[in-house]
Amino acid sequence: MRITDISLTPLALAFRTPYHWAGRVDHGATVILVRVRTDTGITGIGESTAGMPAEGTLAALLGVTPLFIGQPVHDVERLIHKARFLGSFNYTPWYANLVLAGLEMAIWDAIGMAAGRPVYQLLGGAAHDTVDYFGFPQGDRADELATHARALAEAGHSVIYMKVGRGETTDLRNVAAVREAIGHRRLRLDANGAWSVPEAIHMIRRLAAFEPEWIEQPTAAPGIAALRHVKESVHVPIAADQSVFTIDDVYEVCRQRAADVIVLSPHEAGGLLAFRLAAAAAEGGGIPVCLHGQSVSGISDTAQHHVGLTVPNLTAGNQIMHQLLAEDLVQRPRLTLSGGAMAETVVSGASGLGIDLDHDAVARAEERYRRDARYHHS
């Protein structure tokens, strides 16, 4: 089975409500829908994250797709490895991962359909019956965040996750309100690299009163040494997120003991297999991994569920983001959580990723991209 064509479609996704986090507010996101067609009639589906506008990612994908045409679809590792070292990707391994992840995802989807098996079974099989996902309260004001957090806790989420890094007064007020709303459930805080090392140490010491399970990416990427400095200065566990993309980054975090957990997505790692290998490297260092959520559709969240099922050192409270969309692109599988978790059975009957697109929703997202070109930040 050989690859005959690769089509790329930039899409604009709209959020239900403005997405507030450190440094800005997002009103939507752009992604690249990737379709890999084969000479057997099978078409695999994937999704690459993209900047705003998406032309940079689109151009990078167009630059590597000729390498794949006519090649055996099962040679996924060889093909992605070859593309990763093409041209300027030599100097931008993080960007290469983000660009290539959707292409790799689509190839695995095609391989799974050809085999008649779900992708997670091809990546080693299920290590868990379910994957546990976080509750992610949305809002700008403390009362909005607390109300949503309470509802998420009542829905059964064992882990509530929220953004900080929006100013000391705001952070303390928001975290206090959410902690009161959720009681003793686990609370994770994500600064998205908003703080300098001294600011991080100061803020974490103040936030420690609210008993966070961990603080995610307190300092700017890619500073692994900065993370280690903070970790050694506070008593709250530290999670590495934007400091870790490649397997080399995972190794360095483990070697330097710079974090207590690694938060990573297949997009950042460069694909499903790359994520699996990165998780194995972390496991060797005695560090658990948590699936990182990005501004994506149910395409990525389905793929992440497949790979999450296979990872022995996966945490609870993994990140999932399609629920923030005003309209998803996927009509099957139904990515419905029960008590904050999603079962293996959601995808166990699939061939490949098991995704059926909502083609009307895709068409609307394509038109939205043509019309608006990008989603602005505020």
Structural domains in the chain, CATH included, are 3-116+357-372 (3.30.390.10), 121-355 (3.20.20.120)
Q: Is-contact 267 98, C-beta < 8 A?
A: yes
pLDDT of residue 3: 98
Structure token pair of residue 279: 């998780």
pLDDT of residue 256: 96
CA atoms of 175 and 188, how far apart (whole Å): 10
Residues (pLDDT < 50) of the chain are none
CB-based contacts of 368-374 (< 8 A; 24+ apart in sequence): 368/11, 368/12, 368/14, 369/10, 369/11, 369/12, 369/30, 369/54, 372/12, 373/53, 374/12, 374/30, 374/52, 374/53, 374/54
Three-state DSSP at 66 gives helix
Is residue 8 within a helix (H) or strand (E), and if so which, with residue range? Answer: strand 3-21
Q: State pTM to two decimals.
A: 0.96
pLDDT of residue 158: 97
